[in-house]
Amino acid sequence: MSDRFRLTLAQLNPTVGDLAGNAEMARAAWAEARDARADMIAFPEMFLTGYQLQDLVKKPAFAADVQRVLAQLAEDCTDGPTIGIGGPLPGGDKPFNGYFVLSGGRMQAQILKHHLPNYAVFDEKRYYHAGDPSGPVQVGPVRIGIPICEDAWFEDVCETLQETGAEILMVPNGSPYHRGKMDIRQSIMVSRVVETGLPLVYLNLLGGQDDQMFDGASFVLNPGGVLTHQMPAFEAGLFHVDFQHGSEGWRAIPGEKAHLPDPWEADYRVMVEALRDYFAKTGFAKAVLGLSGGVDSALVATIAADALGPENVRCVMLPSRYTSQTSLEDAEGVANRLGTRLDTVSIGGAHAAVTEALAPVFNGAEPGIAEENIQSRLRGVMLMGLSNKFGEMLLTTGNKSEVAVGYATIYGDMAGGYNPIKDLYKTRVFETCRWRNANHRPWMKAPAGEVIPPRVIDKPPTAELREDQKDEDSLPPYEVLDVILEMLIDKEASVADVVAAGYDRETVKKVEHLIYISEYKRFQSAPGARLTERAFWLDRRYPIVNRWRDNGQG
């Protein structure tokens, strides 16, 4: 028996539903692995179809197409390394989440996922049958155990594989990013290594899918939990891992260890890469957004310029009678520093016309929020007109604090196709702007340096829909609001818990009320990059009609 084994890890970025494109990517990677004399090339969970598939996975025509493409891939890749690749396997009323080992033009083995995650963004019990645990697969001189993603988060599947003769554990994953996720993965995988005494390969999917970002960051552990390889986060590549057999069994020969980003850089890169992939995978190349002179739109413009290039971003200032000279100057300053186009389209004439048209109906009613929101909705009309005319996707610019309490106008500043900062609280918006001003990386397409003027970051936030308006006229200060929101939303704390932490009960109850009555707005809001474990959409699902409130009685 050979005492060497080369495993090539394909940390690549598939597109959901692009079966032909994903298979072609796999063929090209297989050819490169063959030239590198690999014994096996492994792809992540559900690579052939992309992930997550949601109800698409239950469509019979899709399932048949998957099997056809899989058979063709096996036939095309005969004289070279064994392939391990993920995809659904038909199972009657719903499929299995499978992993296929292809060798010599045929299916050598198929492994079925046993533990189906059904929390956070995952609904796998809705979409898949649970399979029985499988034994290891012989690939050349090595018996490889393949626990699929969640199967490695529990002891039983890995222990069964070790007891049935596995010599290496190779874990294909579709594990999406949230802040702190990288440390969690490594900690759990170290536990599996310590329990089984086997080396472990953690291979993760890459790329954006709707609100989720699969961040790669694959790694390899030897017994004892020793890290031998760390693949980069957010970067595609083929990585060759060599194993050697000795008196104690198979061990990975140590290789390169990429530096992983800190949470601030990781969050910012997720927002950039998620936007970049969302555009590429939906067929858009250019973006348009309203640039108000405020901090939120400045950050969104910067993210878009870093993702797409400044030449592909159109910023639009839409002044009204309430727009200050400072805002005009600040919007121009951001666009000039980024190098984006800046158009100015006044809403004054349109606002006067709408006001005149509604005057007979509004007659006798006190002016208020309705009149203010007309301005926001007119801006949405103008921006959507530009989007339609020039084929540029409109980006919305509401942060998580605003989205949480409904401090945004539906069909107005909420109009658009994507929101990069949807899961970023306002206080983190400020700090993220400062981080970007102080840091530049090769993956950023916008200029280095202070691209967001400090005045934009430091001035009091305002929607400028009436004279001398400030956000704090309607909301608590953001440093207070964000703590309350994080407790009520991210931690599901009770009102009593928040009050016990030192916050005024009346303020907490007001915030709770705003969260619940804004559910209908979030239901219609644009998707955006998921950064936390409680992002709005799949992580947090509440009814729109809901009269329950926390009165501290429970």
Catalytic positions, please? 45, 113, 149
For residue 466, what are its two tokens?
Answer: 């009436």
Rounded Cα–Cα distance for residues 505 and 495 (Å): 8
- Cβ(156)–Cβ(191) under 8 Å? no
Task: Supply 363's token pair.
Answer: 């007659």
DSSP tag of 220: E
- The H or E element containing residue 204 is strand 200-204
Residue 11, preceding bond cis, omega within 30 degrees?
no
Q: Which of 181, 56, 38, 194 is nearest to 19 (CA)?
A: 56
Size of the chain, expressed as the number of residues it contains: 554
Measure CA 462 to chain center.
29
Instruction: Choose among 458, 527, 518: nearest CA to 485.
Output: 518
Q: Which amino acid does the sequence have at 359?
A: A
> Exposed, middle or buried by CB within 10 Å (0-12, 13-18, 19+), for 170?
buried
- HEC-encoded secondary structure of 169-191: EEEEECCECCCCHHHHHHHHHHH
Q: Two tokens at 38?
A: 């690999």
Cα-Cα-Cα-Cα dihedral sign, residues 480, 522, 262, 457: negative
Rounded to 5°, the CA angle 513-529-415 comes to 65
CA distances in angstroms from 331 to 33, 187, 299, listed in the order given: 49, 45, 11
Write a three-state SS string for 119-146: CCCCCHHHHCECCCCCCCEEECCEEEEC
- Backbone phi, psi, residue 343, to 5°: -105, 150
Please choose, from the candidates 183, 279, 270, 258, the residue with its C-alpha nearest in 3D space to the C-alpha of residue 234: 270
